[in-house]
Amino acid sequence: QKEVEQNSGPLSVPEGAIASLNCTYSDRGSQSFFWYRQYSGKSPELIMSIYSNGDKEDGRFTAQLNKASQYVSLLIRDSQPSDSATYLCAVPEINFGNEKLTFGTGTRLTIIP
């Protein structure tokens, strides 16, 4: 059974600071990793995907992947109140492309003005 683990939080970060969200996964063969943002009562919204070891930056967001440690993280720089949401880590099952995602429980992030 594939596992995706996240600290459920809540994680509180002052506005303007860096928020760091972490995710570990159990399947060593996993190749693709996604971060989704979910506002309360809304659908998951893709914010980052990462496939290779190292860092990937997109605006204020940076995804970091370490396959040896089976660890993927998301950094949010210059945090804004609008970043307050639950952040979901998702990992596809091997041999299913990206269609059968296993989601973590999500980390609830609150940005404090």
Partner 1 sequence: EPEVTQTPSHQVTQMGQEVILRCVPISNHLYFYWYRQILGQKVEFLVSFYNNEISEKSEIFDDQFSVERPDGSNFTLKIRSTKLEDSAMYFCATTGGRNSPLHFGNGTRLTVT
CB nearer partner 1, residue 52 or residue 99: 99
d(CA 25, CA 96): 17
DSSP string, 18-41: -EEEEEEES-TT---EEEEEE-TT
d(CA 36, CA 86): 8
d(CA 18, CA 98): 29
Residue 43 as a binder of partner 1 (CB under 8 A): the answer is yes
Residue 26 as a binder of partner 1 (CB under 8 A): the answer is no
Q: Choose, by CB under 8 A, the member of 46, 55, 58, 112 that binds partner 1.
A: 46
Residue 77 as a binder of partner 1 (CB under 8 A): the answer is no
d(CA 110, CA 80): 9
Residue 103 as a binder of partner 1 (CB under 8 A): the answer is yes
d(CA 41, CA 102): 20
For partner 1 (CB under 8 A), the number of binding residues is: 23
Residue 23 as a binder of partner 1 (CB under 8 A): the answer is no
Residue 88 as a binder of partner 1 (CB under 8 A): the answer is yes
Residue 89 as a binder of partner 1 (CB under 8 A): the answer is no
* Residues of the shown chain interacting with partner 1 in the complex, contacts defined by CB under 8 A: 32, 34, 36, 41-46, 49, 88, 90, 96-106
